[in-house]
Structure 1
Amino acid sequence: MSAGDLPDPAEMTDQLLDEDTVRQVLTEGTLEISGRLTDASNLTLLAVSSLDGVELECVYKPIRGERPLWDFPDGTLAHREVAARRIAEYAQWDCVPLTIMRGGPYGNGMVQRWIEQPDDSPDLVDLVPAKKIPRGWLPIMRAVDTGGADVAVVHADEDKLKLLAGFDVVVNNADRKGSHILTTAAGGVLGVDHGLCFHTDDKLRTVLWGWAGESLPDSVVEGLARLATGMAGDLRLEMDEYLTVTEIDTLARRIDYLQMSPLYPMPPRGRSAIPWPPL
């Protein structure tokens, strides 16, 4: 697609743009900073990418703004975010917004399409009184609040959330908080903030443990088959841009294992299974 092929800006909104157009605008557009998410642990900037009159809101995380971590190599979080999107895309799981690597005002970094939350967007993860867990919701942790009342962290039992939980197992997501789960105006469920993925050690930390020990749904199993094929060929070559050889080998083994034993894992006993804060 060339710049001249872009749709008339007057006739298009963010929600109506096709994926090719979104990718072109995010990749080739002029990136201008419009704000900052101050509660993020790494530098996370709001931006607008503009190309031939078409504007898209996006999130820009420059590599130079990443804080060093003790367990992940420095300067790799943006690459992991792009790799996570590519895994979801290859598996045909619509669970991660379009994410690319590109240059920007503060250097190379991850750029991801901004997902506007509808005003009536339902909470899929919540904190509720322990004795008032909604019907159809799954408890994953009980605690005591500052007032001494028993409370529970719960999540909805929904197919799209179940797919996202399967994706997290595949990419070994160490930071699936409730705030990292978004719903779209069309009813989709998307995950964001995937910088802490693809570690060679078992790092899965998530608020989506409600299906632990259960069989993976068909949507996840079918995606695993696509990923297994890709990891024997073109997808493995693509992952070379973002991950180390050891991390790619570990990812391939995890996919193979899940194909042989297509179950959601049980929470680990020797370390924290839930990120903090969970919501």
Structure 2
Amino acid sequence: MARMIGVIGGSGVYDIDGLEDAKWQAIETPWGTPSDEVLTGTLNGVAMAFLPRHGRGHVHSPSTVPYRANIDALKRLGVTDVVSVSACGSFREELAPGDFVVVDQFIDRTFAREKSFFGTGCVAHVSVAHPTCPRLSAACLAAGREAGVTMHDGGTYLAMEGPQFSSLAESKLYREVWGCDVIGMTNMPEAKLAREAELCYASVAMITDYDSWHPDHGAVEITDIIATLTGNADKARSLITLLAAKLGAHEPCADGCDRALEYAIMTAPEKRDPALVAKLDAIAGRVL
């Protein structure tokens, strides 16, 4: 299987520069319509697919992003590696606006989203103890540093439901008691669904601001945040451009991301719901 990198772009990242043979494709999935059409092409000789998470023009809120359709669409296109880029707030003084964090852990506080492709009639349990792919994450870290971005290796992402930002009490809880490093609204259930789809997944958090815990937060103008968001989008495009060369030829994932369903499906074959199994053709066809 040839490598294909899928990029899910967050706030401010609505396209990729430099794609050859670029075209937007409408992809239908059994889970509904994705956030937008998918931009496909090649970048430095490597097949790429780009999906704007909120849709071009930012039409989806964090709660209404069609996460299952997005992951299914990328898997259906042949994507092997998913890189998520998303705007985040920072809980750490040293993680400054304009910096990027390669996330390696999550705390999921979302509650209004479908979080699995599986369910009644075909039950499966995958491990998300280590929810990101170390190899893909290392490649993102190296590409970002080569692009001149201040990169931080590892961090815990608090996924909140939104769309409102945190209260001061919540911000202090996540920072001081739970030990989180960044906060965002979109990487869950995305990372869980990518694992169910047997896709390598890496998360690059693009810091736009300090969350409400910071004593100077109230003095930050929205225009400053927008300026940081725009600068972060340019940095993300540079990182993506350099990423393909860091990955090399496609081969089986050393950490087993591409075999996550090997022993995950619990429902006996004769008890499986044919309608649900049919919907899982792209996600779990390898094991079903």
**TM-score normalized with structure 1 length:** 0.28
Bigger radius of gyration, 1 or 2?
1
In the superposition, the TM-score normalised over structure 2's length comes to 0.27
